[in-house]
Structure 1
Amino acid sequence: MLIIITFFLCHWFLSLFFQTFFLHRYASHKMFKMNIFWERTFYFMTFFFQGSSFLNPRAYAIMHRMHHAYSDTEKDPHSPHFIKDIWGLMMKTKDIYLSYRKFKTEPEPEFRDRYPTWDFVDRFGDLWITRIFFIAFYIAFYIAFAPYWWLYLLLPIHFLMGPIHGAIVNWCGHKYGYSNFDNGDHSKNTLPLDFLMLGELFQNNHHKKPNDVNFAKRWFELDPTYPVIKLMHALRIIKLRKV
């Protein structure tokens, strides 16, 4: 059972790390710069660790910028205040995401920008055969190492890891918790879940200062991703923007 729990936690936190580090803080907000070698490295790692639920960086970034511009209004692509449940939130987000992923909808002028793209990975990662391969790998791993049937209940989370992370952040981060700032929306800081989401649930702090790489603002708040980013900056893997 320890092998399965370890595998699940590794998939959870590695997928989440690259979502917050690459898709959110880099692709969406450009909080730091990196050269093309490191951009492609982290691009591939985002694809690899998200696996069957790989999220296209361009489509993700467009939606996220819309979320900040229209936070908790009817034009927000994923506000929980206009949808009855978290499943409905995921379905609405999926539809808008696919419209940008497949270039069926052109973003408004203020959301057009140079987003990181890699045509090969974008196309390969979006193929059904690729997603099915990852799903088959997760199932095979559980068949090999899961000693109890109830552990198989974790498999759907593996299949939809990226969207599940997004749904938790957008639902809980705009409904439950406390506020340090009056941002004119419903953004919240959701303790104690922030640690499990690597700082992503400091939504109220983040909406106050969307370009600040450290999502924690008070003495008892900790953004676990921030020290990793500082270390990468010190090692010159990335170069932080001055805010």
Structure 2
Amino acid sequence: MAILAFFLAHWYLSLFTQSFFQHRYAAHKMFTMNKFWEKAFFLLTYIWQGSSFMSPRGYALLHRMHHAYSDTERDPHSPHYSSNAFTMMWKTRGIYQDVLYGRSKEAERFAGDYPEWTALEEFGNKWYSRVGWGVFYVLFYVNFATTWWHYLLLPIHFSMGAVHGAIVNWSGHKYGYQNFDNNDKSRNSLFFDFLTGGELFQNNHHKLPSRVNFGVKWWELDPTYPVIWTLDKLSVIRLKKMKETLPSVAA
């Protein structure tokens, strides 16, 4: 029970910081927050993502490139230019490293307007930080695992962010249905995206990249949106006031 609870906590806490802080805040600025809360969520992103921590700045640049070049050869992680999800994410890793360390000329046009915390970003990307988190996960399993197959979950802990990315970018651009013609191959893969916190409504998001609720039809449930709505009501964040007329969608 302890192992399952730990795995689910790591999965969903890591997923939340990726969707809420790195994606909807850093990359798209769908809402604002003061410096205290920005630092707090920045720190939680590092803690909850652990060994697979990704710089919000690096994430924002990579994601803006993805939107600009969706499903073309210049897309950092289109599944249509890789033979499988593993090669796609290995390619993405290389582009991310180039973006993070200023080696990507392509990323320069997308720079600016994202949270930065240089010391934490540098520390979180060091090998000893990633190994340290990995050791923590292993020690937790050594103390609480009750059967051999529990240890098969450890590789997912080590690369949690990459696993989330592989699911979203592979499935969200290959499988499912389309509400909109976006001139790309984005898809909505689930009606209730319990698996990736709304991130698998890729077709909706590519059509409406500033819309904080990734669901469009009444039965498309984005689990991250109610959390964001609550944080807005508690004045932790401020949703941007946007007049948005939804395009017509297929019946």
Which bracket does the TM-score occupy, shorter chain normalised? Answer: over 0.9
CA–CA distance in 1 between the matches of 2:33 and 2:175? Answer: 35
CA–CA distance in 2 between the matches of 1:193 and 1:227? Answer: 13
CA–CA distance in 1 between the matches of 2:191 and 2:141? Answer: 30
* Residue 15 of structure 2: aligned partner: 16
Superimposed CA distance per residue, residues 176-212 of structure 1 (whole angstroms, 9 cap, x where no aligned partner): 0011111111100011572111100000010010000
Superimposed CA distance per residue, residues 83-121 of structure 1 (whole angstroms, 9 cap, x where no aligned partner): 110011011100000001122223445312132110111
Is 1:100 the counterpart of 2:113? The answer is: no
Is 1:184 the counterpart of 2:188? The answer is: no
CA–CA distance in 2 between the matches of 1:169 and 1:81? Answer: 14
CA–CA distance in 2 between the matches of 1:99 and 1:57? Answer: 15
* Residue 196 of structure 1: aligned partner: 195
* Residue 166 of structure 1: aligned partner: 165
Q: Give ranges in structure 2 of 5+ residues lacking alignment.
A: 243-251
Instruction: Please report how far the alpha carbon of residue 41 of structure 1 lies from its aligned counterpart in structure 2 after TM superposition.
Output: 0.3
* Residue 71 of structure 1: aligned partner: 70
CA–CA distance in 1 between the matches of 2:59 and 2:176? Answer: 25
| Larger mean Cα displacement after TM superposition, 185-194 or 218-227 | 185-194
CA–CA distance in 2 between the matches of 1:213 and 1:192? Answer: 17
Partner SS state of residue 206, structure 2 = helix
* Residue 154 of structure 1: aligned partner: 153
Instruction: Please report how far the alpha carbon of residue 241 of structure 1 lies from its aligned counterpart in structure 2 after TM superposition.
Output: 1.1
In angstroms, what is the RMSD of aligned CA positions? Answer: 1.1
TM-score, normalised by the number of residues in structure 2: 0.94
CA–CA distance in 2 between the matches of 1:134 and 1:44? Answer: 15
Instruction: Please report how far the alpha carbon of residue 137 of structure 1 lies from its aligned counterpart in structure 2 after TM superposition.
Output: 0.5
Contact 1:62 1:107 in 2 (8 A): no
Superimposed CA distance per residue, residues 37-91 of structure 1 (whole angstroms, 9 cap, x where no aligned partner): 0000000000000000000111110110011111101111100011110011011
Contact 1:78 1:92 in 2 (8 A): yes
- Runs of 4+ displaced beyond 3 Å: 106-110
CA–CA distance in 2 between the matches of 1:107 and 1:144? Answer: 46
Partner SS state of residue 201, structure 1 = coil
CA–CA distance in 2 between the matches of 1:228 and 1:133? Answer: 30
* Residue 3 of structure 1: aligned partner: 2
Partner SS state of residue 30, structure 1 = coil
Is 1:56 the counterpart of 2:55? The answer is: yes
| Larger mean Cα displacement after TM superposition, 172-181 or 185-194 | 185-194
Percent of residue pairs bearing the same amino acid type: 57
Instruction: Please report how far the alpha carbon of residue 240 of structure 1 lies from its aligned counterpart in structure 2 after TM superposition.
Output: 0.7
TM-score, normalised by the number of residues in structure 1: 0.97
* Residue 209 of structure 1: aligned partner: 208
CA–CA distance in 2 between the matches of 1:107 and 1:113? Answer: 14
CA–CA distance in 1 between the matches of 2:140 and 2:86? Answer: 27
